Structures are given as C-alpha cells and as structure tokens.
Chain A
C-alpha cells in the first residue's frame, strides 16, 4: 500500500513537472525531469547494492543471566556500502525452546552508510531456558519507497537464563538425618559420602577439598585423598522435568537449583538425576560446585519436558530398586515421602525410597 501511495505521489509530481516542461520548455524543468527519471533507478540500485552488502549481528551479555534480570540485547546492522537506507525492516524471532514459546516482530531501523546501526532491546525474562533472538530476513526499501529487496539472513544470539541461587530453599536436614542413617554417619565423618581409596600427591586440577591437610603438613608436600564415590552414600536428587500450563518447570528448576546450591555450599556431595525423554533413560551429573550446577542446568535446557508429574521418580525407583533413596524435586503432591523442602507452595523436595 505504501509503495502504491509513493508511486502515485511520484507520478503526480512527475506529471506536474512534465506539464510545466511542455508548457514552458524550460531547462529547469528538463533537469527536474531527468532527475526524476534517474532517481528511481539510482534509488533501486542503491537499495540492491545495500542488500548485497549488509550484515546483521547480535550482541548480548557474555555472562549468563538470571530470571527477572533486565538484559540488553543489541541488534547491529552493518552496512559496508556508502549508501544510507531509510527503511530497513528486520524480521526478528524471539523464542525459548525449553519453555516452548516463541514470538515474532519486525524492527524498522535506519541503515547508515559505511556504519553500524544498533538497536538495543532491554528485555526481562520470566521463564527459564535459553532465549534465542534471531533475524531471518531483512527487507530493504529504496529511497523513494518504490521497491523492496528481501535478503535472507541467519543471525542469532542465545541467552542462558539461570534461576536465582539465593532462593528461599532451606532443606530440613533433620529429615535427612532421620531418614538416612548413612548420611548421618557420613556427616559425622565430615559430611562426606565417599570413602578414601588412596592418598597421592597433588596434581593440578585436583579439588582443594580433597587435600589431606594434616598429611601435607607432615610430608611437606600437598597430598590428596583419592576418593571413590559410593552410590549408597551419595545425595541423589532427582529433578522432574515436568511442565504444566502454569509453567511449573520454572519453579521446579528454581527449587532444584536452590537446593543444589545449598548442598554445594554445605559441601554435601550431590548427584542430580533426571529422566531424559529424548534418550529414554535416567541421566545423571555429579555436582561439586556452582559451575557444575550451571553446566547441568544448561544441559537440562536442551531436554524435552514431560506432562507426567512423577515420571522421573517412577523411572528412577525402578532402576534403583528397593535399596535406593533419593531426593525428588517436583510439583507438590506428585511424590509421597518425607518433605525436605518446599518452594512457593507449588514445588516440594521429598525423600523417596
């Protein structure tokens, strides 16, 4: 429609000038006429040239962000030609694959000659997952608004959103103690669920918590306790990747993340398990520090969610058998066991056996 309006307007001025030229035969009008004939051609060529030499890139925060944080994502349009374009329209798609949501919009931006136009999106995210901002097409309109050139672009950026680590998740360890004697024993030994298999010299990459300080003092060299994990003495935490209409997965992951942070801070060895629909298997990851935790959650963001609230716990119970005990984090009332913690009244962490 806009093209038509511009075309009609241009024709109107063209005819007006043509009439003046026919009437007056002035060189002045002849020049206007020539300009008006050449201008659309130049305009189209310029737009075509720019469409060939324009690039779109994204820039965003390098660190992972948390839900609720405002982050500034930038779309940059680089034009390598000297010609400016008044109307560049970028088709932008915003999606969160983990949450299964997406949206589209168009961004109209100027395209500077030999320069970069940068548009900043101050966005706030309410769901966990990886926010993907991608541009799939760029439409460049010529100077006179008569022609449009479509250019396919494949440019995107991703932003990993983590839950807040300072959640109000305070697991009730008394429940752990009452329900898990091995845990209690381990705690007395130094809250360690593993056993020392051998002692060796420190090697770069060894965890500081494994250093045997007393022996190191005696031998005048750093000695490290080589541990072997004992599954029966590990804190197993199963996270249900359950999704419902209220986006409960946000709360489940936040609760799990908060609880895991708590365990890491209290130096309680932790293995997180979850049911992977893609691989049809229980997946697990040993969490020793916050870095491991972040890696785990990024890993989880690529998993598919399921609709059965207790599916993960069910599958893990089958695998572990009767001897297995674990902490299941899922929606409230989806598990029956001793409640270790609750989160926002919709998520619970229960000890299941």
Chain B
C-alpha cells in the first residue's frame, strides 16, 4: 500500500513499442526547439489582437493617440508575458507577475490623473459621437485634467493593453482560446458600431489576423504552452498508437504570416470592391436596433439607472399615482417644446393633471373643468405647445387658458395629445374670473389622515389667513422636511401622506404637494393636487428666439417684461412638477410649498461613477463641474485595500507553507512507527522528485536511495532498500529496525540537503 511511488516509476519507465522487437529508446523528436522563439510568436499573436483591438476601438472614435508609443508598449507587454509564461517554471512566472504588478501600481500612482483623464476623454468621445448620432442637443461631459488628449488617451490605452495582455496571454498559452480572444476584442466594437463608427482598416487587419491565427491553431489543437516540455504526446496503444506533436514555433510563425496575408488580401479586396463608404450609404437601421435606441439614448443620458426606471408614465407625470417609485430619475430629454411670448418673471406652470380625491396611494382626477373659464381681458397670450416626448394623456396648457371646443375636439379626436403634434392655446394672464361655488370634495380629508394631519398642523402651529398658512407651511417644510429625489418607495400597506409626515419625513414635490393639499383642507382651505411642468424664468431665458413669428400674434396687452419677443423653449422632464392649487377669493391659485433641493445636483449613474472615481479637487484646471481625480481619502482607501490584499496574500502564502509543513510532520509522527517511516520516506522521495526530475526514473528503492546519497555506503543502502521494500509491501518489521531505518532516513535527508543548493533549499522550504 505504500509502494505507490515505486509502481508509478515503473509505469513511467515503460518504453513504447512500435512493433514487437522495435522499441522507442527515447521520445520522438522534431529537432531542437527554441522556447523563446515560440514565445515570441505567441507574443506576436497577442500583440496583433490587443493592439488591433484597442487601436481599432480608438480609431472608431477618432480618438487622438500616439500610435507608435502604444505599439511599442504592446510589443513589450506581449513579449514579456509570453516569455514569462514560456519559461515553464511557476516561480519565475509568479515572480514576473509580482514584479509587473508592483510596477503597475507604481505607474498608476504616478499617472493616475493621466489615466483618469484618458478614460474620461474616451467616455466624452463616446458621448460626443452618441450625441451626433442621436442628434441630442447636448450631453454632459466629464471634465478632464489635461487638455492633451493624445497623451492621456495613450497612457490610458497602455494601461488597458497591459491588463488585456495578461489575461489574453494566459488564455492563449494554456487554451489557445479563440473565445477569450473574441470576447476581449469584438464586444468593445459594439459601442462605436452602434453609432455607425468603423475602425481603420489597418487595425482591423491586425485584429482579424490575430483572431484567424488563433482560430486556426485552436481548430487543430496544437501550440499550447502546457505541453512545452515534450515535443510529442503519445496517445493510444498498439494499432491506435499516435504521436501528436505539441507545438511548433516555426509553424506558428508561418500560420501568423498566412493569416496576415489572408486578411490583408480579403480586406483590401473588400475595400476596393465594396468600400466602407458605399456600404454606409446603403446603411439600413435594423428594427431591433431601432427598438433599443431609445434605451441607449437614455443610457447615455442617465446611465444604467435608466434601464430600471419603473415609471409607467412619460415625461415625469405620475397621473396621481403615489409612492410607487423609490427615486426620481430624469432623462433630461425634451418632453415639450413651447413657443410663446414671455410676459412675467414668475414661473410658468403648464398644467396637466388635477387630483381631487385622495385615496391613500393616489389622487383621483377632477371631473370638473381644468381651468376656470377665463374672462376675456386686456391681456391675451398665445402659446403653441408641441408634444415631443411627454405623456399623451394630458394637454399641458398654461393657466387661464381658454380650452376652446376646437382644442378639446382635437384632443378627443386624437385620443390625447400625441407625440409630434402641436396645440395652440389662448390664455388670459391676470384674469379676474372667479369660482362661484366650491365642491366639498376640495375640503375632504380622509379619516385615516385626519388625526395625523391635525397633529401636524398643531406642531407646525399653522394659523391665520390663507396666505399666512401657505407661507407657514412652506417654511415648516423647508426647515423640517428635506427635499430629496430618493425618498424611497412607500410601503404598500402605508398611507402615502401619513408615511411621509410621520416616518419618512423626506420627499420630493409629489410628497409635499399631496401632504399640503390635505393640510390646507384640514385648515379649511379648499385645495387640490396638480401635476404638470413648471418652467422658471431662467429656463425661458435659455430658449431660442423664434423671430419668424410676430410678437403681436403671441401677446397682446401689458406685461411685466414689457414688449418681449417670441421664444421657443424646450422643456425636459427635470421640469416636471407637482404643486397645490388653493382656492382663495374664488380663484384657484398656485401654492408652492415644495422646498428647494439641498442636494447639490441630481446624480445619475455617470455622476455617481464619476464621484466614485474622483473627489472634488478644485482649482486644478478642470473644465467641468465633475471632479475627476481620486481624492486623498479614496487613495488612502485604495492603498488600504491594496495593503489588505498584500497582507492577505502573504498570510495565505505563509499559511499554506505552515499547513503543508504541519501536515507533513504530523504524517510521520503518528503512533504507528512503520507508517511514520514510510511517510518520511515518501517525503524524501517527493523532495528528490522536485529537485531532480530524473529521480522519477529510478526503478526501485535501491536506485532511489542511491540517487539520494550517491556517495553512500552501498551495503547499507542495499539493506535500507530491502527494509523499505519490506515495509512498503507488508509493513511488518521489528521495532528496533524501524528506529534504525528512521535514523538512516534522517541521514539520507542530510545527504540530500548537502547536494542541494541553498537557493533551491529555500524554494523547497516553501514548496514541500
């Protein structure tokens, strides 16, 4: 049972018979092979793939970069890693990786800002191309530390190439994996290809050539590094005997050349016969692509979160539904486009939805008229509203609009306000129309809310005139309940307003407006919930002058601003809003109680990502508002992580050594002395096998012992071998002899150590 070692060796010794009486004295060979040459060829393939991939990607984006520098680094990395792997010695490989890792850390520490800047330059380039493709008015750009994009992109590309090269080298060396080679390169081209951006033919040829070479070698099952030590693998027996060669650097070189020639010819022919421009001319957008373009557009604007928006509405309208979303995410796309003549500094409200009855998780809409029928007066305005991407269920009309039969007919005929259509509203600012009677429903507070609302009113010490109550409430909200776009979703079994006022105590406009309506009603003021768009004067000022229209056609009468001009304003969903209307003096008036946001800006995915990658380092020449550098704290954090990783690695490394040693020592310190002797001998054999590969060919115990101690006493060795053989088979031996054998084995151990170099002993200390 303990003689496995010997039997294994005998098996290894069996020679291969080509036919009875004709045996292979030594392995079949193909002449001397140059491992470095083989590695260099593999490095060339890696270079073709990585350089072709990265260079191609950058060329798609027309990104400026120093091609020779990137090429040089790619060559260096490719050669370094492929030669490292080809060495066949694990410790050399590991040491190489550690050295590279340290250099990488050092380099990234030095070039951190450059890498950061390069990364953002690429992101900005992608956004820029996406903006062109989607014809977006603008996309946000990440600020870059350095304006020299050529340098920063090159540095970023060099770092990226090093990482790609490590991974690719492993997969090509071990598996010659076409899958990994494809995965690492082709998918990144989907980004530019989506925006119809094509790579330069030069990089394309390099990339394709590399992939074709890998595909050829993968298909034929040769040229992997794990079989490097032998030239041929022997498979099968007798008639099925096969000698398969493992790899050939010369052949790999020829395959690479063939692949380059093939791809060069094909791509050149294609470029001549069916050029890129001609293909682009016939470009036809596929329906799946058209389908997801909206999502991609949102993705570009908002980030990953856009994929998880759970609003079933469009343009920020919830149509009275409450509490279904945990946060508000704007896509900043234009929902409405209005043309009008500004007449006031106040915010323009475009009313869409009016809620009357509160049901705990929604507002039911008001069956009554949207607006009090205005009275024609001295001032009259016209507003043209175009639905670009807003919810088509609503009209989006300014206050005091005269919803004429013509407008309503158009609305009902089209079953809403469809996208791409326009409405022309006539409205009467400063209108004096009054409501003669008020429905009790505008004063109704559900029973389950009454107590909480009453308590709240008492705490807020609300009282006085309507205006005073509105002002007190607005102030109370501002001081006590913060505005946030991420309040979290309201639990299903909770009342929206109660939960907001008593537990959550934070929210956005819908929360404040809903609560305010009930509070006003509790205080005896008729109130209702409204959704729509609030267009501040600052946004109006960002509009474009529509000088094709006459001012007189859009406004008549006096205005706060005097004679202005007709302007076109794009309204996006960040302007979507919920507010309160209260009835004061028979007129429904806007009561704004939503406090201003204390959040610095609405953060989307890219912002969060940017924040993670950066801190708010100021005054270093950033162009934009988003910081890009890693802050000192974050660097500390990274160093801590790195330190932790290193410490973890060291602990694992030494822990493994200790574990292996303990296990070994325990194996020959059991109560069974014969087991101990065998275990100790096994340890010596393992040691010898590790330091002398030819030890495997020792056919019996005597030969093994003689290899352990070449200058030992032959008679003693023969006796020891005999004992070991006896022990291995039967385990029966006198205890006295066992002690003697153990002493001899310890002597053998000393002899082994004598013939082992110090460096090898240190290495073996860690290994066995």
Are the C-beta atoms of A31 and B208 separated by less than 8 Å?
yes
> In the assembled complex, which residues on chain B have CB atoms less than 8 Å from the CB atom of A126?
21-23
Whether, in the assembled complex, B279 has its beta carbon less than 8 Å from a beta carbon of chain A, the answer is: yes
Q: Which residue in A29, A86, A94, A122 is a CB contact (below 8 Å) of B216?
A: A86
Q: Closest CB of chain B to A133's CB: distance in Å?
A: 8
> In the assembled complex, which residues on chain B have CB atoms less than 8 Å from the CB atom of A24?
190, 193-194, 286, 289
Are the C-beta atoms of A108 and B243 separated by less than 8 Å?
yes
CA distance A185 to B409 in the complex (A): 148
CA distance A6 to B218 in the complex (A): 9
Residues 179-197 (chain B) with a chain A CB within 8 angstroms: 182, 186, 189-190, 193-194, 196
Residues 552-577 (chain B) with a chain A CB within 8 angstroms: none
Q: Quick one: given A28-B193, A28-B204, A121-B24, are A110 and B219 in contact (CB under 8 Å)?
A: no
Whether, in the assembled complex, A307 has its beta carbon less than 8 Å from a beta carbon of chain B, the answer is: no
Are the C-beta atoms of B30 and A109 separated by less than 8 Å?
yes
Whether, in the assembled complex, B262 has its beta carbon less than 8 Å from a beta carbon of chain A, the answer is: yes
> In the assembled complex, which residues on chain A have CB atoms less than 8 Å from the CB atom of B251?
84, 86, 110, 112
Are the C-beta atoms of A121 and B28 separated by less than 8 Å?
yes
Whether, in the assembled complex, B220 has its beta carbon less than 8 Å from a beta carbon of chain A, the answer is: yes
Q: Which residue in A26, A84, A107, A120 is a CB contact (below 8 Å) of B255?
A: A84
CA distance A22 to B182 in the complex (A): 18
Q: Quick one: given A86-B222, A117-B30, A144-B216, are A35 and B18 in contact (CB under 8 Å)?
A: no
User: Which residue of chain B is the closest to A29 with respect to CB atoms?
Assistant: B193
Q: Closest CB of chain A to B25's CB: distance in Å?
A: 4
> In the assembled complex, which residues on chain A have CB atoms less than 8 Å from the CB atom of B220?
86-87, 141, 143, 145
Whether, in the assembled complex, B254 has its beta carbon less than 8 Å from a beta carbon of chain A, the answer is: yes
Q: Closest CB of chain A to B416's CB: distance in Å?
A: 33
Main secondary structure on A side of the interface with B: mixed
Whether, in the assembled complex, A104 has its beta carbon less than 8 Å from a beta carbon of chain B, the answer is: yes
Interface 1/0 per residue, B16-45 and A, CB below 8 Å:
011111111111111100000000000000
Whether, in the assembled complex, A218 has its beta carbon less than 8 Å from a beta carbon of chain B, the answer is: no
> In the assembled complex, which residues on chain B have CB atoms less than 8 Å from the CB atom of A13?
178, 182, 215
User: Which residue of chain A is the closest to B219 with respect to CB atoms?
Assistant: A145
By the criterion of a CB under 8 Å from any partner CB, how many residues of chain A are at the interface?
63
CA distance A30 to B199 in the complex (A): 13
Are the C-beta atoms of A42 and B20 separated by less than 8 Å?
no
CA distance A120 to B25 in the complex (A): 11
Q: Closest CB of chain A to B370's CB: distance in Å?
A: 45
User: Which residue of chain A is the closest to B56 with respect to CB atoms?
Assistant: A28
Are the C-beta atoms of B25 and A28 separated by less than 8 Å?
no
Q: Quick one: given A35-B208, A109-B30, are A6 and B22 in contact (CB under 8 Å)?
A: no
Whether, in the assembled complex, A102 has its beta carbon less than 8 Å from a beta carbon of chain B, the answer is: yes
CA distance A101 to B23 in the complex (A): 13
Whether, in the assembled complex, B741 has its beta carbon less than 8 Å from a beta carbon of chain A, the answer is: no
User: Which residue of chain A is the closest to B242 with respect to CB atoms?
Assistant: A106
Whether, in the assembled complex, B239 has its beta carbon less than 8 Å from a beta carbon of chain A, the answer is: yes
Q: Closest CB of chain A to B333's CB: distance in Å?
A: 23
Binds A, one of B6-14, B263-271, B527-535: B263-271
Best-surrounded residue of B22, B248, B254 (most CB of chain A within 10 A): B22
CA distance A24 to B286 in the complex (A): 7
Are the C-beta atoms of A34 and B18 separated by less than 8 Å?
no
CA distance A121 to B30 in the complex (A): 9
Are the C-beta atoms of A31 and B204 separated by less than 8 Å?
yes
CA distance A104 to B241 in the complex (A): 7
Interface 1/0 per residue, B206-231 and A, CB below 8 Å:
00100010011111111000000000
Are the C-beta atoms of A25 and B242 separated by less than 8 Å?
no
Whether, in the assembled complex, B148 has its beta carbon less than 8 Å from a beta carbon of chain A, the answer is: no
Q: Quick one: given A101-B19, A125-B21, are A144 and B215 in contact (CB under 8 Å)?
A: yes
> In the assembled complex, which residues on chain A have CB atoms less than 8 Å from the CB atom of B218?
9
> In the assembled complex, which residues on chain B have CB atoms less than 8 Å from the CB atom of A84?
251, 254-255, 258
Are the C-beta atoms of A120 and B30 separated by less than 8 Å?
yes
Whether, in the assembled complex, A299 has its beta carbon less than 8 Å from a beta carbon of chain B, the answer is: no
Are the C-beta atoms of A103 and B216 separated by less than 8 Å?
no
CA distance A10 to B255 in the complex (A): 18
Whether, in the assembled complex, B198 has its beta carbon less than 8 Å from a beta carbon of chain A, the answer is: yes
Whether, in the assembled complex, B284 has its beta carbon less than 8 Å from a beta carbon of chain A, the answer is: yes
Q: Quick one: given A27-B280, A39-B212, A112-B251, are A70 and B243 in contact (CB under 8 Å)?
A: no
Q: Which residue in B28, B178, B216, B286 is a CB contact (below 8 Å) of A23?
A: B286
Are the C-beta atoms of A96 and B289 separated by less than 8 Å?
no
Whether, in the assembled complex, B420 has its beta carbon less than 8 Å from a beta carbon of chain A, the answer is: no
Q: Closest CB of chain B to A141's CB: distance in Å?
A: 7
CA distance A9 to B31 in the complex (A): 33
User: Which residue of chain A is the closest to B19 with respect to CB atoms?
Assistant: A103
Are the C-beta atoms of A105 and B23 separated by less than 8 Å?
no
How many B residues are at the interface, by size bracket? 35 or more
CA distance A20 to B185 in the complex (A): 14
Are the C-beta atoms of B217 and A86 separated by less than 8 Å?
yes
Are the C-beta atoms of B280 and A94 separated by less than 8 Å?
no
Q: Closest CB of chain A to B458's CB: distance in Å?
A: 62
Q: Which residue in A9, A103, A110, A124 is a CB contact (below 8 Å) of B245?
A: A110
Are the C-beta atoms of A113 and B21 separated by less than 8 Å?
no
Whether, in the assembled complex, B693 has its beta carbon less than 8 Å from a beta carbon of chain A, the answer is: no
Q: Which residue in B215, B254, B267 is a CB contact (below 8 Å) of A113?
A: B254
Q: Closest CB of chain B to A38's CB: distance in Å?
A: 6
Are the C-beta atoms of A102 and B19 separated by less than 8 Å?
yes
> In the assembled complex, which residues on chain A have CB atoms less than 8 Å from the CB atom of B244?
108
Whether, in the assembled complex, A194 has its beta carbon less than 8 Å from a beta carbon of chain B, the answer is: no
Q: Which residue in A27, A70, A143 is a CB contact (below 8 Å) of B279?
A: A27
Whether, in the assembled complex, B726 has its beta carbon less than 8 Å from a beta carbon of chain A, the answer is: no
User: Which residue of chain A is the closest to B216 with respect to CB atoms?
Assistant: A143
User: Which residue of chain A is the closest to B259 with respect to CB atoms?
Assistant: A143
Q: Which residue in A27, A34, A110, A120 is a CB contact (below 8 Å) of B248?
A: A110
> In the assembled complex, which residues on chain B have CB atoms less than 8 Å from the CB atom of A39?
212, 262
Are the C-beta atoms of A99 and B20 separated by less than 8 Å?
yes
Whether, in the assembled complex, A48 has its beta carbon less than 8 Å from a beta carbon of chain B, the answer is: no
> In the assembled complex, which residues on chain A have CB atoms less than 8 Å from the CB atom of B28?
107, 119-122
Are the C-beta atoms of A70 and B26 separated by less than 8 Å?
yes
Q: Closest CB of chain A to B224's CB: distance in Å?
A: 13
Are the C-beta atoms of A101 and B20 separated by less than 8 Å?
yes
Whether, in the assembled complex, B276 has its beta carbon less than 8 Å from a beta carbon of chain A, the answer is: yes
Interface 1/0 per residue, A112-152 and B, CB below 8 Å:
11010111111111110001000000000101111000000
CA distance A35 to B261 in the complex (A): 12
CA distance A2 to B222 in the complex (A): 13
Best-surrounded residue of A99, A107, A115 (most CB of chain B within 10 A): A107
Whether, in the assembled complex, B308 has its beta carbon less than 8 Å from a beta carbon of chain A, the answer is: no
> In the assembled complex, which residues on chain B have CB atoms less than 8 Å from the CB atom of A103?
17-20, 22, 238-239, 241
CA distance A27 to B189 in the complex (A): 11
CA distance A304 to B262 in the complex (A): 57
Whether, in the assembled complex, A315 has its beta carbon less than 8 Å from a beta carbon of chain B, the answer is: no
Whether, in the assembled complex, B288 has its beta carbon less than 8 Å from a beta carbon of chain A, the answer is: yes
Whether, in the assembled complex, A83 has its beta carbon less than 8 Å from a beta carbon of chain B, the answer is: yes
> In the assembled complex, which residues on chain B have CB atoms less than 8 Å from the CB atom of A30?
270, 279
CA distance A107 to B178 in the complex (A): 26
Are the C-beta atoms of A94 and B26 separated by less than 8 Å?
no
Whether, in the assembled complex, B285 has its beta carbon less than 8 Å from a beta carbon of chain A, the answer is: yes
Q: Quick one: given A23-B286, A106-B241, are A28 and B22 in contact (CB under 8 Å)?
A: no
Are the C-beta atoms of B238 and A25 separated by less than 8 Å?
no
Whether, in the assembled complex, B283 has its beta carbon less than 8 Å from a beta carbon of chain A, the answer is: yes
Whether, in the assembled complex, B250 has its beta carbon less than 8 Å from a beta carbon of chain A, the answer is: yes
CA distance A78 to B384 in the complex (A): 84
Are the C-beta atoms of B208 and A94 separated by less than 8 Å?
no
> In the assembled complex, which residues on chain B have CB atoms less than 8 Å from the CB atom of A86?
216-217, 219-220, 222, 251, 255
Q: Show the binding face of B for A, using Cβ within 8 Å.
A: 17-31, 178, 182, 186, 189-190, 193-194, 196, 198-199, 204, 208, 212, 215-222, 238-239, 241-245, 248, 250-251, 254-255, 258, 262-263, 266-267, 270, 276, 279-280, 283-286, 288-289
22 pairs, CB–CB < 8 Å, chain A vs chain B: A9-B219, A20-B186, A24-B190, A24-B194, A30-B270, A31-B208, A32-B208, A86-B255, A94-B22, A104-B239, A105-B242, A106-B243, A109-B30, A110-B30, A117-B30, A118-B30, A121-B28, A122-B25, A122-B28, A123-B22, A144-B215, A144-B219
Would you list the 8 A-B pairs with minimal beta carbon distance, nearest first? A103-B19, A127-B21, A145-B219, A105-B241, A86-B220, A84-B254, A26-B193, A101-B20
